[in-house]
Amino acid sequence: MPELPEVETVANGLHERVSGDTVVSVWLGEKPEPLKSPADEIAETLKGKKIEQVHRIGKTVVFELAGGAQFLVHLGMTGRLLVNDSDVPLPPHTHGVLHLKSGREIRFIDPRRFGRMSVTRGYTGPGKEPLKIGIDEFVELFKGRKTPIKSALLNQKLLHGVGNIYADESLHRAGIRPTRQAGRLKRVELERLHKAVKAVLQHAIKLGGSSVSDYVDADGMRGFFQLEHRVYLRTGEPCRTCKTPIKRLLLAGRGTHYCPLCQK
């Protein structure tokens, strides 16, 4: 599932290409799963509206429309948002098309149909923004929590946007084992984790995210951060820091990768 860096990359690409353009009409497919708001409401909200900004909140791409409405797209596991000229044939599994005044189209493609489209106002996301949260507020998030720190990092009501890849990578860089109880981590450990989360996410954004499955940006290009993964999906391979084989375990149903020597 695309996480914060992938969604940020998509949103930034869309902003560069379509901000200032106007939605002339909307086509929505017949499959009900991608629609979190009624089809008529989505079409009516978007039609004739200027796209003032495209940005990310958590794992959601947010189109800010003239007049204050917002068009939200969650990519799910296999969702893509692409900008194409109207004469480019629609690919299979296209569930939504925004026809723009410029003649281009914004297309939402999602083979597995776990992605969602909706319209709303005032959306701010379920949790805190990982790239902006200060250290004191970060420490407070985990105080008294008995869940493993990996599970706490994946809790979108705490930090929205961090998923499996970047939780594993951040914990490795911070030297913290994913099974440690969140509420028992010392402040100095949480300070390392706070720094690691921000550094990992920022570097991943710089490299266009991680393409380990279906993820591509608004131009259909893959990211490159997967080439720098230190633990994620590297079970049995040597740790890039100490050469100890990377281990994998299931934690709350999620594949979790860590170095048994570097992470305590």
CB atoms within 10 A of CB 231: 26
| Rounded Cα gap, residues 71 and 53, in angstroms | 11
Q: What does residue 76 show for φ and ψ, rounded to 5 degrees?
A: 60, -140
Please provide the DSSP assignment of 20-83 as one string. T-BEEEEEE-S-STTBSS-HHHHHHHHTT-BEEEEEEETTEEEEEETTS-EEEEE-TTT-EEEE
To the query of whether residue 3 is one of the catalytic residues in this protein, the response is: yes
Indicate if 92 belongs to the active site: no
Question: How high is the pLDDT of residue 206?
Answer: 85
Convert 167-187 to b/e letters by CB count within 10 Å (16 or more is b): bbbbbbbbbbbbebebeebee
259 phi/psi in degrees, rounded to 5: -100, 120
- Out of 36, 50, 248, 254, pick the active-site residue: 254
d(Cα 239, Cα 227) in Å, to the nearest integer? 14
Nearest-10 Cα torsion for 168, 170, 172, 173: 160
> Active site includes 206?
no
* pLDDT tens digits for range 174-189: 999 999 999 999 999 9
Choose, from 17, 49, 59, 107, the residue flagged as catalytic: 59
**Which residue of the set 2, 5, 34, 178 is catalytic?**
2
Of the CA atoms within 13 Å of residue 227, those in its CB half-sphere come to 5
How does residue 215 score in pLDDT terms, banded at 50, 70 and 90?
low
Whether 143 is catalytic is: no
Structure tokens at 124: 């701010």
Q: Per-residue pLDDT tens for 143-155? A: 999 999 999 999 9
Which pTM was predicted?
0.90
